[in-house]
Amino acid sequence: MTIADPIAEYLRASARAASQGIDTAPAALATADRSGRPAVRIVLIRHVDERGFVFHTNYNSRKGRELAENARAALCIHWPALEEQIRIEGAVERIAADESDAYFKGRPRGSQIGAWASDQSEDLPARAALEARMREIEERYSESEIPRPPHWGGIRVVPDRIEFWYGRPDRLHDRVLYVKSAGTWTTSRLYP
């Protein structure tokens, strides 16, 4: 059976969750380095459209380096109160610079300063070093808009698999899998 648009299904699920007061931005992001060593952390999904799921990061961070080495990732979005989970797998790509610029401009000023001050994932000798860098960046841009750092921007997970998981009694959950092949989405049900 062919399904026209699982992204629309995600957007409906996300709107339903948000209407019940659930923060739908957090997602677990799984990456693996060149040797296959996995890592997972929480990111915030800031945009979803037919192209995929976007989060923002320091491209020099561990996740940024891993995504450059192995340009595939998985996301897991879990809404325990609703007993729903959505798993997304696919290739990754950087979003266009103008899209990253637009998102960066909307961030709180402190977060903009932090994007410049933090060598994300690198060893920090002392918290005071980070605080000093924050003050330096704040002073540098005290009378101007803060530009987006060249090492910071959006990453899009371009899905080729999306699974919707709905909790049911007796652990007989509903699992609906969408797989994209040759530009077409197909769907199937999975055993719980």
Between CA 157 and CA 29 the distance in angstroms is: 10
Question: Helix, strand, or coil here: 31?
Answer: strand
**Pair type for strands 152-166 and 84-94:** antiparallel
127 is catalytic: no
List the catalytic residue out of 87, 161, 171, 175.
171
* Number of residues in the chain: 192
Q: Confirm if 18 and 45 have CB atoms less than 8 A apart.
A: no
Closest CA to 57 of 26, 94, 84: 94
Give the active site residues. Answer: 171
